[in-house]
């Protein structure tokens, strides 16, 4: 009965409590991950419905439109589907042709650039395929790649930092194409597999995408890209004088891996379907209050797109993308809410402006963020930092923060200071070879010279949550099981948002803009203003 006596003003303040924010947050996750959003595939009506919902939420919170068409920044893509059942491939060894089942023995990727209709070329193994001369390692040095298909494995030498290896992996297709290669085939060591091959085969039925503007593509012409079933790895190495088992053992131990001709060629006929499509980024602005600094922007980003649907799946056919990344987009809305002064909370007006950038086509290779970072709707030099949300991972208690990129820029000191003020420990990346720092949208900003951070729920070494993480990736990640029906931790997510909102404010209010540390590898992308 007592609650009827609480005055209205107190109710308003109570409504800004973490519980109320938590309710709004999980409701946003539920809406964005609902079956009627159909997995939010880039270019689909489901994506557009989700985008309209996010725009509505930003508008209601009083944010200003900062896209090229209101809150939207439309982006033109080409969608490419590899029709595996109508494609053929074979390994050619002397006069012998050993057929490969496309989509099963070898998955032909659909991103990066248009596939050639036909290809026949010698196979050349190039170890890890990493071009890192500045780190004293170059798998491409002295190798004649012209007219060849490069074959490479996962991992990299232990002596080189994870950040440099990650970058070299991200740029691999570009380096190979520049040296005249016609394509690349990746063969992951059994130990490096996150998603089982059977599920990768299913995911490969999805169309791929690249930007319609060739100037923004990594490879300008046609490009052959494939991954090879690791359980059939010996077929690639037969007759080379080496075995895949030997190579995999070296790679799993992060030891040097040799390069050598594989002594056979690959021939493939590839059927594709290509169509143009449009999908939009969303850009919303909280204007800054400082007369000078308001012209600068701190970006908080997160991708809205998901993997769509696959009608051929048994049972559940929708990739709802709840953790990946409805949670992240809901958190951008939650941070905007906490700044907005709604529900009786104190309104926040930072010195610099804060830009909420919700991007499309992350799952297609960071394409929406790549477009925004190259063609931003505010002057590029005015973007001082990016803090990115991509499945922060609300599946265990938040006891520590993992801030990927912490060691690269002055944002690391900010990340540590805010963590200390909230009683959170800083976590060390438990799986540096997972390349997480270049696997989401912050990387598009990094490549434009913008200091960035990618915060995640930390994982303590030896913690049982490592097993939760491993099982989630094997069973639900990029599968229909990543839906709302999971033990998503709401309170911890709100605390995580409090961390990011405090971090963004600290950066937005600091006298100086963030800078790369002098010894950071990623500093190379920064052009002096």
Which residues would be at the binding site for Zn ion (CB under 5 A)? Answer: 324-325, 390
* Least distance in angstroms from the C-beta of 183 to Zn ion: 26
Q: What angle do CA 234, 261, 177 make, to 5 degrees?
A: 105
What does the alpha-carbon distance between residue 102 and residue 228 come to, in Å, rounded to a whole number? 10
Task: Check: CB of residue 327 under 8 Å from CB of residue 335.
Answer: no
- Collapsed DSSP state (helix, strand, coil) of residue 247: helix
Looking at beta carbons only, is 484 or 510 nearer to Zn ion? 484
Structure tokens at 81: 């589907």
Could you tell me which residues are beta bridge partners of residue 291? none
Structure tokens at 267: 């021939």
| Pairing mode of beta strands 88-93, 96-100 | antiparallel
Looking at beta carbons only, is 47 or 228 nearer to Zn ion? 47
Q: Is residue 146 classed exposed, middle or buried when 0-12, 13-18 and 19+ CB atoms within 10 A define those classes? A: exposed
* Least distance in angstroms from the C-beta of 124 to Zn ion: 33
* Least distance in angstroms from the C-beta of 323 to Zn ion: 9
The dihedral built from the CA positions of residue 43, 49, 456 and 381, taken in this order, carries a sign that is: positive
* Least distance in angstroms from the C-beta of 305 to Zn ion: 8
How many residues are there in the chain?
529
Looking at beta carbons only, is 73 or 388 nearer to Zn ion? 388
* Least distance in angstroms from the C-beta of 261 to Zn ion: 38
What does the alpha-carbon distance between residue 193 and residue 382 come to, in Å, rounded to a whole number? 40
Neighbouring CB atoms inside 10 A of 201's CB total: 15
Phi/psi-derived region of residue 180, left when phi > 0, alpha when psi is between -120 and 50, beta in every other case = left
Looking at beta carbons only, is 264 or 360 nearer to Zn ion? 360
Looking at beta carbons only, is 328 or 376 nearer to Zn ion? 328
* Least distance in angstroms from the C-beta of 325 to Zn ion: 4
What does the alpha-carbon distance between residue 218 and residue 365 come to, in Å, rounded to a whole number? 11
* Least distance in angstroms from the C-beta of 198 to Zn ion: 21
What does the alpha-carbon distance between residue 304 and residue 368 come to, in Å, rounded to a whole number? 10
* Least distance in angstroms from the C-beta of 125 to Zn ion: 31
* Least distance in angstroms from the C-beta of 324 to Zn ion: 4
| Pairing mode of beta strands 224-228, 106-108 | antiparallel
What does the alpha-carbon distance between residue 276 and residue 48 come to, in Å, rounded to a whole number? 16
Looking at beta carbons only, is 106 or 330 nearer to Zn ion? 330
* Least distance in angstroms from the C-beta of 439 to Zn ion: 8
Task: Check: CB of residue 121 under 8 Å from CB of residue 160.
Answer: no
Looking at beta carbons only, is 390 or 469 nearer to Zn ion? 390
* Least distance in angstroms from the C-beta of 303 to Zn ion: 6
* Least distance in angstroms from the C-beta of 362 to Zn ion: 6
Q: What angle do CA 452, 455, 446 make, to 5 degrees?
A: 20
Looking at beta carbons only, is 390 or 414 nearer to Zn ion? 390
- Collapsed DSSP state (helix, strand, coil) of residue 218: coil
Q: Is residue 476 classed exposed, middle or buried when 0-12, 13-18 and 19+ CB atoms within 10 A define those classes? A: middle
Looking at beta carbons only, is 40 or 506 nearer to Zn ion? 40
Neighbouring CB atoms inside 10 A of 234's CB total: 11
Looking at beta carbons only, is 130 or 367 nearer to Zn ion? 367
Structure tokens at 108: 């032909």
Looking at beta carbons only, is 230 or 365 nearer to Zn ion? 365
Q: What angle do CA 210, 212, 215 make, to 5 degrees?
A: 90
| C-alpha 126: how far from chain center | 26
Looking at beta carbons only, is 303 or 489 nearer to Zn ion? 303
Task: Check: CB of residue 385 under 8 Å from CB of residue 411.
Answer: yes
Q: Is residue 90 classed exposed, middle or buried when 0-12, 13-18 and 19+ CB atoms within 10 A define those classes? A: middle
């Amino acid at each position: 009965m007592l609650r009827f006596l609480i005055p209205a003003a107190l109710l308003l303040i109570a409504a800004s409590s973490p519980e109320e924010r938590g309710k709004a947050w999980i409701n946003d996750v539920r809406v964005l991950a609902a079956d009627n959003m159909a997995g939010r595939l880039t270019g689909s009506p489901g994506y557009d419905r989700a985008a309209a919902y996010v725009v509505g939420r930003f508008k209601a919170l009083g944010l200003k439109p900062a896209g090229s068409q209101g809150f939207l920044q439309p982006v033109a893509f080409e969608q490419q589907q590899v029709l595996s059942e109508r494609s053929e491939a074979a390994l050619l060894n002397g006069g012998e042709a050993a057929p490969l089942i496309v989509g099963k023995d070898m998955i032909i990727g659909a991103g990066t650039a248009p596939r050639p209709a036909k290809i026949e070329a010698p196979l050349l193994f190039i170890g890890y395929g990493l071009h890192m001369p500045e780190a004293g390692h170059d798998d491409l040095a002295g190798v004649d790649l012209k007219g060849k298909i490069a074959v490479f494995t996962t991992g990299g030498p232990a002596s080189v930092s994870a950040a440099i290896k990650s970058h070299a992996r991200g740029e691999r297709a570009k380096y190979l194409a520049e040296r005249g290669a016609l394509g690349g085939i990746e063969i992951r060591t059994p130990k490096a597999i996150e998603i089982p091959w059977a599920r990768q085969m299913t995911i490969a039925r999805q169309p791929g995408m690249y930007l319609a503007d060739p100037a923004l593509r990594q490879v300008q012409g046609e490009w052959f890209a494939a991954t090879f079933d690791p359980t059939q790895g010996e077929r690639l190495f037969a007759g080379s004088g080496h075995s895949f088992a030997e190579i995999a053992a070296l790679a799993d131990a992060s030891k040097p891996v040799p390069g050598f001709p594989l002594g056979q060629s690959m021939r493939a006929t590839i059927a594709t379907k290509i169509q143009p499509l449009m999908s939009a980024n969303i850009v919303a602005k909280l204007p800054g209050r400082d007369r000078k600094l308001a012209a600068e922007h701190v970006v908080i980003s997160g991708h809205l797109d998901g993997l769509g649907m696959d009608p051929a799946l048994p049972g559940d056919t929708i990739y709802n993308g709840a953790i990946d990344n409805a949670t992240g987009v809901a958190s951008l809305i939650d941070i905007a809410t906490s700044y907005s002064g709604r529900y009786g909370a104190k309104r926040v007006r930072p010195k610099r402006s804060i830009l909420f950038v919700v991007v499309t086509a992350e799952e297609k290779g960071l394409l929406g963020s790549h477009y925004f970072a190259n063609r931003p709707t505010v002057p590029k030099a005015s973007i001082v930092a990016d803090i990115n949300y991509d499945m922060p991972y609300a599946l265990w208690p938040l006891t520590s923060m993992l801030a990927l990129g912490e060691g690269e820029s002055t944002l690391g000191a900010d990340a540590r200071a805010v963590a200390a003020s909230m009683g959170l420990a800083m976590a060390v990346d438990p799986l540096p070879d997972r390349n997480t720092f270049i696997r989401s949208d912050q990387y598009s900003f990094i490549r434009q010279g913008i200091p960035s951070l990618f915060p995640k729920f930390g994982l303590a070494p030896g913690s049982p949550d490592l097993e939760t993480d491993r099982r989630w990736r094997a069973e639900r990640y990029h599968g229909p099981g990543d839906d709302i029906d999971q033990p998503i931790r709401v309170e911890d997510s709100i605390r995580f948002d409090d961390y990011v909102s405090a971090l963004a404010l600290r950066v937005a209010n600091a006298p100086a803009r963030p800078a790369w540390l002098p010894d950071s590898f990623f500093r190379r992308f920064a052009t002096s203003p």
